[in-house]
Amino acid sequence: MRIESYDDLEQRRRLERDFPGWGVWRAVGPSGEPGGWYASRRRRITPAEVRAGLWATVDAASPERLAQLLAEQTELASRVGR
């Protein structure tokens, strides 16, 4: 079992603070090595929102890229009325 590093914890907390509608975690590989970064919405999205391009879960190789994707999703959600 991998214990979350302080840096990972701080990154996760920052992302969840900056994007409060999302839960963030980091995957763990089969040998316990750190994996990719993931975020899932804290609410269900409607079929219409999916058609508009909203995602229930996003993934990225780095917390910086995940932040970019979450910002894009936030912008898109504001345009579709959520």
* pLDDT tens digits along 11-32: 999 999 999 999 999 998 888 8
Give the C-alpha separation, 38 to 24, whole Å.
Answer: 6
- Tokens read off for 30: 């089969």
Q: Per the structure, how many domains does the chain have?
A: 1
* SS3 category, 39: strand
> Range of 35's domain?
6-79
Give the C-alpha separation, 18 to 41, whole Å.
Answer: 13
> Each residue of 33-74: pLDDT tens digit?
889 999 999 999 999 999 999 999 999 999 999 999 999 999
- Tokens read off for 18: 């900056």
Q: Would 1 be classed as within a structural domain? A: no
